[in-house]
């Protein structure tokens, strides 16, 4: 878990037992790959990786639904609300390599709105797990739908996958786009309005 003090100094707190177990496993992995885990550059690497992996998967310790429910407000607004260009960093569960990009999320309220910062937090809570992009897209949509019961939810994610860029087919410029819609966004007109707002830059 990462915390910031009042002086904005980063304080890192990790489960010591999990860190020790992961570090031991990473030590074995490094040695099995043919490296000398005791040399200067690698001596502390197993522990560093153990902490990094805990941070990269800290979404398992978060409850996205409760995040949303903690900041619901009654509001008579029934026009589209869009939060776009949300940075996404996740870990592909097939090769444990990163994929990263942007998420664009919209909903049409039905008596309730949510604090705007909670949308990116929900994206992060689901992204910081072992994932596939398709499931991530659906999870974000379903969580917002359940918490707010809006007239509709739209989620689009554009991401680059290191498992395609560093290995395998090695296509450096490929981008994967996934989408998921409910309610009003299943109508062509509303969906086009959302896509237009995502694509166009407002002057």
- Just list the catalytic residues: 92-95, 133, 161, 163
* Contact call for residues 109 and 78 (beta carbons, < 8 A): yes
Phi, psi of 193 (to 5 degrees): -65, -45
CA 73 from centre of chain: 24
**Is residue 95 annotated as involved in ligand binding?**
yes
Q: Check whether 143 is labelled as a binding-site residue.
A: no
Is the CB of residue 112 less than 8 Å from the CB of residue 133? no
Q: Can you spell out the DSSP letters for 100-151?
A: EEEEEEEEE-SSEEE-TTHHHHHHHHHHSSEE-HHHHHHHHHHHHHHHH--S
Residue showing tokens 């197993």: 46
> Using CA atoms, how far apart are residues 35 and 144, in angstroms rounded to an integer?
46
Residue in this structure with the two tokens 């990094």, named with its chain if needed: 52
- Binding-site annotation, residues: 92, 95, 163
- Binding-site annotation, residues for Zn(2+): 92, 95, 163
């Amino acid at each position: 878990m990462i915390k910031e003090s009042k002086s904005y100094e980063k304080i890192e707190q990790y489960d010591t037992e999990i860190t020790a177990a992961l570090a031991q496993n990473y030590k074995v992995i490094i040695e099995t790959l043919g490296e000398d885990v005791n040399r200067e550059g690698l001596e502390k690497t197993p522990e560093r990786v153990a902490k990094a992996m805990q941070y990269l998967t800290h979404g398992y310790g978060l409850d996205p639904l409760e995040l949303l429910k903690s900041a619901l407000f009654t509001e008579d607004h029934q026009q589209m609300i869009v939060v776009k260009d949300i940075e996404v960093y996740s870990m592909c569960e097939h090769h444990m390599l990163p994929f990263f990009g942007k998420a664009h999320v919209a909903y049409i309220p039905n008596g309730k709105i949510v604090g705007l910062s909670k949308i990116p937090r929900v994206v992060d809570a689901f992204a910081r797990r072992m994932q596939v992009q398709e499931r991530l897209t659906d999870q974000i949509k379903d969580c917002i739908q359940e918490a707010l019961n809006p007239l509709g939810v739209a989620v689009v994610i554009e991401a680059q996958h290191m498992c395609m860029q560093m290995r395998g087919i090695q296509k450096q410029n490929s981008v994967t786009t996934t989408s998921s819609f409910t309610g009003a966004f299943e109508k062509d007109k509303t969906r086009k309005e959302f896509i237009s707002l995502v694509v166009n830059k407002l002057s």
